A and B are shown apart, each in its own frame.
Chain A
Amino acid sequence: MPDALTLRDTTAEAVQMLTVCNACRYCEGYCAVFQDLSHYRKVEAQDIDYFANLCHHCTACLHACQYKPPHEFGIDIPRALTATREQSYADYAWPKPAGDLFANHGVIASVVTAVCLTLVLGMTMWLNPAAAETHTGPGAFYAVIPHGVMAATGLVTFSYGLLAMFVSALRYGRSIGVRSGDVFNYANLLRTTHAIASMRHLGGGHGDGCNETDAAYTNRRRYFHQATMWGFLLCFAATCVATIYELGLGRLSPFPYTSLPVVLGSLGGLGLLLGPAGLAWLRWRRDDPTSPMDWSLLLMLFTISLTGFALMLWRETSWMGALLAVHLGFVLAFFLTLPYGKFVHGIYRGVALIKFARDNP
């Protein structure tokens, strides 16, 4: 855990580096950071949290920099902004003490996952002797884990995650100077949504993408990232539709393979296999210091998808109970660690992009 002094140092270093950038400006066309920087006369410490979350660590500006190490200026914007970005996650976390969780995210995520798996699997198998039997037809899942228990656990943990992230977003937004008027502004929202949906900035300002291992540009990261985001959103949509089916239409899961929730979920699941695997591969090849929280989110999403498919494939066998418990164990762990891991990147970046849209019409 960085102490107060190194905290200040990372911010001071970022201020120093961006001051050099502001005198240089060669990277103006790469991304939102440099585009917005050109409106600043002077970069101050309080501006760094904003810039940090506008950066998505594509490293284009590092490869392009004539002052990168071994030059004595040692300019490395992606490193400086990644350090301050991760610090900002901790600084705006809610409740405040939970910010410490970021620093040890890898360990915490593993422990939470292990506990969730043991609990869900253990309780299911121990409390319900029928869990290891074959169940088919509508309501089969609830023969293993009661509907109420499953729904309540999911709802409570996910809502908590949403609430924690919402409060963090508010605090972050206030600190970087985003006002509610900026959020409820049609043009801003449209531009922000478009930027996120297309991941415009991962195009590198020229559409050829960003740098990976060397000075060459590639769009791989953009595509894998899109697969991950859309995969997640499709799975979320599948869950919502399923809920409507169950509560509104009175139809109980498991649904047929051709039903809307299963189709959405499978498409999303594919995205969550491909995207995180691809991103992890790129990370591994790039061989730069990656914080554990990046790995754990990718691993979590991948495993949820994998266990989801396994459940779908073998739902008509006696393994269904165990598979369901394992899948839900991972989902539960994901929900619990949601607000204190890399997932919040999407939230902070969204808020930063709203400010960017406001200031760069």
Chain B
Amino acid sequence: MSAPFPQADVTVIGGGHAGLCAAISAAREGASVTLLESAPLAMRGGNSRHTRNLRARHDGPAVTLTGSYDAEEYFQDLLRVTQGATDEALARLTIDESASLLCWLSDLGVHFQPALSGTLNLSRTNAFFLGGGCALMNTLYEVAETAGVAVFYDAEVIALEMEAGCCRSLTVRYAGATHTLDTSSVVAASGGFQANDAWMRDVWGEAADNFLIRGTPYNRGLVLRALLDGGAAAVGDPQQCHAVAIDARAPKYDGGIVSRLDCVPFGIVVNRAGQRFYDEGEDFWPKRYAIWGRLVAQQPDQIAFAIVDHKVRDNFMPSVYPPVEADSIEALAAAIDVPADTLQATVSGYNAAVQAGDYDPDALDGCRTQGLSPDKTHWALALDEPPYLAYPLRPGITFTYLGVKVDARARVLMSDGQPSENVYAAGEIMAGNVLGKGYCAGTGMTIGGVFGRIAGREAACLTR
């Protein structure tokens, strides 16, 4: 069937931050642009709709950012989190361009706000979107449509006809039918594959069924798959994903930021068998929540329970879902379906191992256990004041790391090292070039914006 889409110079696949930046920049270069977004209008914007900030370099106070954050410091931060798994040239390019990205967005009418309460540590490095990522998406969609971009919702690209590194047509599922769309150039901005059950199961086995996906259900990696199958070079470890421990009661998809739990460092965490498995007090929670996703994923049935007692319940922000409460450890065990005798033994053993110290929830204090395996090294207080509260934890997947390799012009690199003639990539689908592993708050949106702009510009130039 012929496509209901207008003939366009540039076809952008994916309507998240990267796709919109690409579409807007291509349209502003004078190209005709079609944007295909697989979500319906109400759920548009992919993972970007859940974001709150981006990280930008700046030499002095800029927009809402305080002080300065120079390129070298930014690069060192990236090096540290990725432990060197980054393409230095692309990383430096991202950092350089992050400053102008901020101004560009601001000129488009995107509003920023000072760092949100509770995130003041980010006020120098990260610019927060007023109203969050959804508001950002609203503005960018409006700008794109005003610039003449033809936006199609419920339009999922299921295949790319690749020939010798060149893509001349796409297959799109739209309005209940399959269409073929010819194009002169393509920007792939369709995110990772974390919402593709089958693919996740391939990588993780059955455990994947118990993962929660923090963002959109529409990032199923079909375009990533098509590109890799079509000869694009891969980047990033296919086995890796960014996983944090979140409230097990969150929805399967799109739970976003509010499924966060902050209670872990203030109590103990046990698995389904009632046993502890890691040092809950290793460091402050924001520095540790990303390793806990993996830790919980390794437990039976991919579930764990954080247990605290009454005296610390005001030390952390209350959860959106109320805790399970009980007046004894035994009753709590019954309520969360964990063997009561093991849980009782774990708690008694833990309580007996707690050393005296000055408890301070706001500092790495001296309260720890001695002689346990594993020990809890900070904020260790005996669990002895009912009611006891339990919060169920599951791995929450933010994104996958596997992507396509690109060059500094956002061209997709083929496995022979040659750039594709007309396929560009931006955002999550190529973030692995810069973020080979680990994560540094706000870099996802920066990479998406920077490479989106480059990809849009380059794709538009190609068709002149």
Contact = CB atoms under 8 A, between A and B. Distances in A.
Interface of A: 19-20, 22-30, 38, 41-42, 60-61, 63-73, 205-206, 208, 214-216
A187 B42 CA distance: 44
Nearest to A23: B258
A64 B135 contact: yes
B164 interface: no
A26 B132 contact: yes
Nearest to B136: A64
Contacts of B43: 70-71
Interface in B132-165: 132-135, 138-139, 141-142
7 contacts: A26-B135, A29-B130, A30-B131, A38-B118, A41-B318, A70-B43, A206-B111
Interface of B: 42-43, 49-50, 52, 109, 111, 113-114, 116-118, 129-135, 138-139, 141-142, 251, 254, 256-258, 260, 314, 317-320
Given A25-B116, A28-B116, A71-B254, A64 B320 contact: no
B264 to A, nearest CB: 16
A19 B131 contact: no
A64 B132 contact: yes
A24 B131 contact: no
Closest 5 A/B residue pairs (Cβ): A26-B132, A64-B131, A29-B113, A215-B138, A64-B135
Given A29-B114, A41-B318, A215-B141, 13 more contacts: A23-B257, A24-B257, A25-B117, A29-B111, A29-B113, A29-B131, A60-B131, A63-B135, A64-B130, A66-B256, A206-B130, A208-B109, A215-B135
Most B CB within 10 A of own CB, among A61, A64, A69, A71: A64
Nearest to B261: A23
Contact of B113 (A20, A28, A63): A28
A25 B133 CA distance: 12
B454 to A, nearest CB: 27
A28 B130 CA distance: 8
A19 B117 contact: no
Contacts of B111: 29, 205-206, 208
Nearest to A39: B117
Contacts of A68: 42
A63 B132 contact: no
Contact of B132 (A24, A205, A215): A24
Contacts of A65: 134
A61 B257 contact: no
Nearest to A35: B117
A64 B138 contact: yes
B251 A72 contact: yes
Most B CB within 10 A of own CB, among A20, A27, A29: A29
A216 B256 CA distance: 24
A60 B50 CA distance: 16
A69 B132 CA distance: 17
B254 A27 contact: no
Contacts of B109: 208
Contacts of A22: 317
Contacts of A214: 142
A68 B131 CA distance: 13
B130 A205 contact: yes
Nearest to A37: B117
A23 B260 contact: yes
A215 B141 CA distance: 9
A66 B49 contact: yes
Contacts of B139: 215
B50 A20 contact: no
B319 A30 contact: no
B317 A41 contact: yes
